[in-house]
Structure 1
Amino acid sequence: MNFDNILVEKSAALAKVIINRPKKLNALNKATIEELHLAFKSLDNDTNVKTILVTGSGDKAFVAGADISEFSDFSIEEGGSLAKAGQEMLFDFVENLATPVIAVVNGFALGGGLELAMACHFRIASDNAKMGLPEVSLGVIPGYGGTQRLPQLVGKGKAMEMIMTAGMISAEEAKQNGLVNYVTTQEELMPLAEKLASKILRNSSVAISAAISAVNANYKDGVNGFNTEIEAFGNCFGTEDFKEGTTAFLEKRKANFPGK
C-alpha cells in the first residue's frame, strides 16, 4: 500500500509507521489522518505484525500539531464534525487497536501530535522532545481527545495547567509526570523502542490484546473494568496461546506462541 504522507516499514513481527511531512513538521492534515487509519487498520489485520512503532520523520518533530490552514474558516458544525471524525478514525481507533502501539516521540509533539502519542498504548521520548496542547492560544480547545487522555496520564491539576497555559514541557518533565515512560538521546531512541518491542514480541499476542481491552475498559463510561477483566481472563483459558504458555512453563522451556 502506497501513501503520500506516511511511510510503513515491516521487519518480521515489528512494523514502523513514520509520519513523513518534514516541511510541515509532520503536522496532521485530513489526508494524513486518513492514511494513518488505513495503515493501522492494515497492520492490525496482518497476523504477522505483533507490535507497531509510530514516529515522525527527521529529528525535529514527532507531530507538531494539526494543519491549521485546513480548518481556520470552519463553522461550529464543521468544527464538531472534524473532531468527531478524527477521534473515530484515528485517535480512538489507535487506543483500541488489538496490536500494541508505542509512540516514539522524536521531537515536538504538540496539539494533535501529543493527542496521537497519548492515544498510543505508551510513549518514549528523545531528550530534545517538547510536548504540549497549545490550542487555547488559538481560541479553541484540544479536539482529538486531549482533554480526556491528558488528565488520565498526568492528573487533573497538571493537565489543567498544561491546557490553560498552552505551554510546552520538556521530555524529562513529561517523564516525571507519567506522560512518557523513558527519555533517551535521539540516537538511542529507536534502538530503545525496538528493545521494548522485542520484549513484547516474546509474549502472547492474544493475551496482550485482551489486556489492552481490559485496561481501556477502566476509562470507559458505563463499563465495569473488573467485569471486563474477569471475562477476558476466562476467555484466555480457551486459547492455544494459554495451552502453549502453561505447557512451556511446566516443561521449563521458552514458549512458542501461535497467536491463537
Structure 2
Amino acid sequence: MNNYQYINAWVDDGIARIELNRPNVLNALSRSMIAEIIDSLTHFDTSDDVKVIVLSGAGRSFAAGADIKEMAEDDPISLEKLNQFADWDRISNIKKPILAAVQGFALGGGFELVLSADIVFAADQTKFGFPEVNLGVMPSAGGTVKLSKTIGYRKALEWLWTGERMGAAEACELGLINKVTPPELLMEEILTFAGKLKEQPPLSLRLVKDTVNKALDLSVYEAMQYERKNFYLLFASEDQKEGMSAFMEKRLPNYTGK
C-alpha cells in the first residue's frame, strides 16, 4: 500500500512495515511525513491482515529529528492553528503492538517516535537524545513526559537540559529500549520478535497493551481493577476458548483474533 511520498509501507505475512524514507536528510520528520506515518499506522491497526507493526528508517539513520527549516519561522498563533501535535496524539490510540528497529540517530522528534513504540531494538552504535534545548526550544511531542516517566526526574532533566546524546547501551540500561544488537542483525532480530508476537492471541496483546498503558497513570488499586475487567473481557473471546482447549489437548493453538 505504498501511496506515500515520505515513507514506504507494506505487509509481509502478518507483519506491517513502515520505513521512514527521507535518507538524504537522515529521515528528518517533516509534518507531511508524520501525517503519512500516522495514516499508515491507523490503516494497519484496523486491518485484519496485520498482527504487528514494525517501524524502521531507510539509510543510515532512524530519524535525526524534526525538519528545522519547516518550523524556523513559526510563531505561537500559527502553531496553535496548525495543531500539528494532534497527529502525534493519535499514536497512543494504536492498539496493535508497535515495534521499532533503530539505527544511526534517533534525536528530537525521532527519539519521541521511538518512545511512542512499545518495543525497541537498536543497533549498538545508535545515538539517542533531545537536542532541542540547543535551539532555544524543548521537546513538544511527549519527549519530556515520556522520558521522565521512564527514567525518572533527575536523569530526565540531565538529558533534557544538556541536549547530549546517549548511546544504545545506556539507553537500554535506563529502560528506554529493550535490546541492543549488532547493526547487521537489527532487522533480523526485530522481525524474529515480531514473528513471535504474530503467533500470540491478538486480543490478549491488545488488552495487555491497554492495561499497561493505563497502569502508568492510575493508582495501583485502580489499575488492578482495570486489569481485572480486561481479564474478564477476554473470556468472551473465541481465542480464550481455543487457547485453553489447545492447552488441555496438548496441541498448538490456532488464534483468529475473535
- Asked if Structure 1 and Structure 2 have the same fold, meaning a TM-score greater than 0.5 normalized by the shorter chain, the answer is yes
Of residues 115, 119, 139, the one that matches 2:136 is 139
Distance (Å, rounded) in 1 between the aligned partners of 2:24 and 2:53 = 24
1:222 Cα deviation (Å)? 8.7
> Corresponding residue for 1:5?
6
Of residues 162, 185, 197, the one that matches 1:188 is 185
Deviations 1:11-39 (A, max 9, x none): 11111100000111101111101101110
- For the residue of structure 2 that corresponds to 1:256, the secondary structure is coil
Of residues 78, 93, 113, the one that matches 1:96 is 93
Q: How many residues in Structure 1 have an aligned counterpart in Structure 2?
A: 256
> Corresponding residue for 1:85?
84
TM-score by length of 1: 0.94
8 Å contact from structure 1 (residues 96, 213) kept in 2? no
Unpaired segments of 5 or more residues in structure 2? none
Identity of aligned residues (%): 36
1:226 Cα deviation (Å)? 2.2
TM-score by length of 2: 0.95
1:80 Cα deviation (Å)? 4.6
1:81 Cα deviation (Å)? 5.3
Matched, 1:206 2:207: no
Residue type matched to 1:65 in 2?
G
8 Å contact from structure 1 (residues 94, 101) kept in 2? no
- For the residue of structure 1 that corresponds to 2:56, the secondary structure is strand
1:166 Cα deviation (Å)? 0.3
Distance (Å, rounded) in 1 between the aligned partners of 2:113 and 2:137 = 18
8 Å contact from structure 2 (residues 31, 84) kept in 1? no
Deviations 1:68-97 (A, max 9, x none): 111111112333555x532x313x322331
> Corresponding residue for 2:160?
163
Residue type matched to 1:39 in 2?
S
1:220 Cα deviation (Å)? 3.6
Distance (Å, rounded) in 2 between the aligned partners of 1:157 and 1:81 = 34
> Corresponding residue for 1:228?
226
8 Å contact from structure 1 (residues 95, 121) kept in 2? no
Unpaired segments of 5 or more residues in structure 1? none
